[in-house]
Amino acid sequence: MGKPSVDIGRVGIWYGTIDALATSDARRAAATIEDLGFHALWLAEAVGRDPFVSASVLLSATERLPIATGIANIYARDPMTMVAGQKTLAEAYPGRFLLGMGVSHGHLVAGVRKHDWSKPYSYMVEYLDKMDKALFMAVGPSEDPGRVLAALGPKMLKLSATRANGSHPYFTTPEHTAIARSEMGPDALLAPEQMVVLETDPTEARRIARAGMKIYLGLPNYFNNLRRLGFTEEDWENGGSDRLVDAIVAWGSDDKIAARVGEHHAQGADHVCVQVLTEDIRTAPVDQWRRLASVLL
């Protein structure tokens, strides 16, 4: 299908803990990200704010910054509702909203939402079929803004290139970026997320990294993907081996983190969304974003 019409540049910010901020502070954080020159702000969906409402609020607080969902849970709304949210924002803010969708995780879908999560890939295929046929009887965007899928394994990566405009891999490595580009071909958008810790002391950096990684180490999607990359059950012990931590989280000097982002680009990424891990999620990491802007942009 080719890349989406929304231009998100080469580097953005992934800010999953923005829900820990009051809305007024979240608006200021988005404006800061825009002022620093980052090319996109990625929002998550779990059990917090609705991502379409949040995107609308943050789009209104900025002038140029694209907002992307990383990701909107397809089990949280039916296909027609997903299309309505996408097209409403894309028409209101031309060229500034990118829909990222995914199947989420079993504990959120089956456990929290009480939906059937037995065949997530098949469900995604059927969901995309229904999105393509969904009615939207309002003024829509002048061009299709496109969509990207959360994808790790070969089947979902290929689906991202054939039925969407690209993929948004999460909790992964530059080695996976190379695999994803190979699976998807040259034309689809590839926008991996990269966790970072701006700390040069190895013990402290890895401590912060393990805290940020903790919730993901218990999720089968990520376990299976990292096992394909050569990691073993032993790498999951004690909060993650140093080898695993160092593969998932870039830490150290600003230049070292910039080098990791560069590795993703060298392996085929079009865009890298950087997630700064800190201990205090109630405060936007503005100083860290500023430091990263000086070496990434």
Rounded Cα gap, residues 223 and 216, in angstroms: 8
- CA contacts within 13 A on the Cβ side of 154: 4
pLDDT at 113: 87
pLDDT at 114: 87
Opening angle at CA 222, ends 163 and 180, nearest 5:
40
What the chain holds in terms of domains, given with CATH numbers, is: 11-197+253-296 (3.20.20.30)
pLDDT at 112: 81
pLDDT at 110: 84
pLDDT, mean of residues 66-88: 98
Largest CA distance in the chain: 56
pLDDT at 201: 98
pLDDT at 109 over 90: no
Give the mean pLDDT of the chain. 97
Rounded Cα gap, residues 143 and 159, in angstroms: 22
Helices (H), the chain: 23-36, 51-60, 79-92, 106, 120-133, 154-162, 174-184, 202-213, 220-228, 242-248, 254-266, 286-296
pLDDT at 25: 98
Rounded Cα gap, residues 35 and 252, in angstroms: 25
pLDDT, mean of residues 102-114: 87
pLDDT at 29 over 90: yes
List, for residues 156-207, the tens digit of each pLDDT value.
999 999 999 999 999 999 999 999 999 999 999 999 999 999 999 999 999 9
Kindly tell me the number of DSSP H helices and DSSP E strands found in the chain. Answer: 12, 11
The residue behind tokens 């590795």 is 263
pTM: 0.97
pLDDT at 148: 98
- Spell 247-281 as b/e; 16+ CB within 10 A means b: bbbbbbebeebbebbebbbebbbbbbbbbbbbeee
pLDDT at 124 over 90: yes
Rounded Cα gap, residues 183 and 4, in angstroms: 18
DSSP state of 112: I
pLDDT at 106: 82
List, for residues 216-270, the tens digit of each pLDDT value.
999 999 999 999 999 999 999 999 999 999 999 999 999 999 999 999 999 999 9
* C-alpha radius of gyration, the chain, whole number: 18
Structure-block tokens of residue 107: 């504990």
Q: What share of the chain is helix, strand, coil (3-state, %, to 5)?
A: 50, 15, 35
Task: Give every CB contact of residue 70 below 8 A, 6+ residues apart in sequence.
Answer: 14, 16, 42, 43, 44, 100, 150, 168, 170, 193, 273
SS3 18: helix
